[in-house]
Amino acid sequence: MPVYAYRAVNGDGEAFEDTVEAISAYDLTQSLEAQGLRVTSIDFAGQAPGTVVHAKQLSWEELRLFTEQLGSIARSGYPLVPSLAALSDELEQPRLRAATEQLQSDLARGTSLGEAFRHQESRFPPLFGALIRAGELTGDLPTVLDMMNDHATRMASVKHRVKMALAYPLLLAICAVSVILYQLLYIVPVFSDIFLEMGGPLPVPTQFLLVVSDVLRHHWSVVLIGAALVALALVAVYILLKRQAEGRRFLDRCTLYFPGIGMAYQGVVQARFCRTFALLLGARVPLIDALLLSGTASGSAVLEKAVSHASDVVAQGGRLVDGLRESHFFGQSFYWLLGTAEERGQVEYALNNLAESAERTVRTREQLLGSVITPALTIFLGLIIGFMVVALYVPIFTLGDQLGVN
């Protein structure tokens, strides 16, 4: 079970902090608030000793398929337990089948659908359990499932667009690296033998190219082991940072401020936050719970921390826009539109509009990055190959001229 470190304040203003096991941060928040405590921060602290996590988060495409099927079952009025059992027999995706079987098993034991979802938070996003519970409380589960399906469809579409934008540059890079390695391993050695026969001093670029070729040909095992060790070290550092709250925020800040990619990533985070927040408010989830869940669903550790502070402002009677403004995460137009909508009671409508605006901006930036990255990568790789060609052919002409003079 996951372990969370939390800070909370009681009615007398006394501060408490502790580390406890809980199914999810949302469950822990609900439990502490039931005890009369106001939660100020919750950070994931790892898994409890002896805990082995086998389940992986379902992809947005799998979530889209599942919510579509579950929505059809809910609208038909058929019993959930036998319907889920029949659905699991038809599913071809192993992870989705396992999740469906676990849901069916929990429901057969008398667990509510919302609790069954939250028991599988490693597979389903936390907001799914909250939405299902809201649908059960309002008696409008099919509508909530349709909202979840729309959300999963949008997220799957964003992920697909990102993959498509990166596919061509990645293929180009792989082909170029293959060509460069072929030249270093098979073409450069032929020129090396020619240079030895001709004698005479070689230019510095040519000497550098020959040394690189020689190292790759005769010490390839050392190079391979060194590259593997560097890769493993980077992965280990990444995993270590991901397990710590401050480390996750550091990685997130690096992504947010990375040239070019950072602006697109911030747009994705903003769109995801606004869309999820509007979705939860539309399902009548309480404001503070919706705010915290939206911060988690955004995928940004920086925004999640900022939203946690904003929830404290709202809990103390402050305005939502004032709490978010202190994060400095969004632009001024975002705060103006949200503040105006909050005064008019149209927050859900404004959030949907802000999400659509952010998604349009992301699509524009994706097209811009795609139109810039590919030519830039082509020019960069062309310069490398051009350097190799010049470094190989210049000595032939210079040494040939020297031989002609002699």
Q: What is the mean pLDDT of each run of 10 residues along the chain (406 residues)?
A: 70 74 63 75 55 62 86 83 84 84 84 78 74 70 79 76 74 83 83 73 81 85 89 90 82 81 79 81 79 78 83 82 82 86 85 84 74 78 83 72 51
Q: What's the structural domain count of the chain?
A: 3
Looking at residue 291, its pLDDT comes to 83
Query: What torsion, rounded to 10 degrees, do the Cα atoms 291, 332, 351, 345 define?
Result: 90
Looking at residue 232, its pLDDT comes to 93
* DSSP-derived 3-state class of residue 312: helix
Q: Are residues 120 and 78 in the same domain?
A: yes
Looking at residue 49, its pLDDT comes to 46
Which two structure tokens, joined as six digits, stand for 89?
């027999």
> What is the spatial distance between Cα 124 and Cα 151, in angstroms, rounded to a whole number?
13
Determine, yes or no, domain membership for 158.
no
Of 153, 174, 189, the residue that ends a domain is: 153
Q: Are residues 143 and 257 in the same domain?
A: no
338 CB-near residues (< 8 Å, 6+ apart): 320, 321, 324, 347, 350, 351, 354
Q: Are residues 32 and 128 in the same domain?
A: no
Looking at residue 145, its pLDDT comes to 82
* DSSP-derived 3-state class of residue 93: coil
> What is the spatial distance between Cα 391 and Cα 323, in angstroms, rounded to a whole number?
60
Which two structure tokens, joined as six digits, stand for 173?
């890079």
234 exposure class (CB count in 10 Å sphere: 0-12, 13-18, 19+): exposed
Determine, yes or no, domain membership for 351.
yes
Determine, yes or no, domain membership for 53.
no
Q: Are residues 319 and 254 in the same domain?
A: yes
Determine, yes or no, domain membership for 52.
no
Of 123, 153, 183, the residue that ends a domain is: 153
Element (H, E) at 207: helix 204-218
Residue-number span of the structural domain to which 131 is assigned: 60-153
Looking at residue 260, its pLDDT comes to 67
> What is the spatial distance between Cα 379 and Cα 372, in angstroms, rounded to a whole number?
11
Q: Are residues 141 and 95 in the same domain?
A: yes
Short-list 98, 46, 50, CA closest to 106: 98
* DSSP-derived 3-state class of residue 1: coil
CB of 95 closer than 8 Å to CB of 56? yes
Q: Are residues 242 and 104 in the same domain?
A: no
Q: Are residues 18 and 125 in the same domain?
A: no
Determine, yes or no, domain membership for 159.
no
Determine, yes or no, domain membership for 106.
yes
The stretches of 299-346 forming alpha helices (DSSP H) are 301-315, 320-325, 332-344
pTM: 0.61
- The values of phi and psi at residue 11, to 5°, are -65, -25
Determine, yes or no, domain membership for 185.
yes
- What is the CB neighbour count within 10 angstroms for residue 63? 24
Furthest C-alpha separation in the chain: 98
Q: Are residues 187 and 143 in the same domain?
A: no
> What is the spatial distance between Cα 391 and Cα 343, in angstroms, rounded to a whole number?
68
Length of the chain: 406
Q: Are residues 314 and 367 in the same domain?
A: yes
Looking at residue 51, its pLDDT comes to 42
Q: Are residues 204 and 249 in the same domain?
A: yes
Looking at residue 323, its pLDDT comes to 83
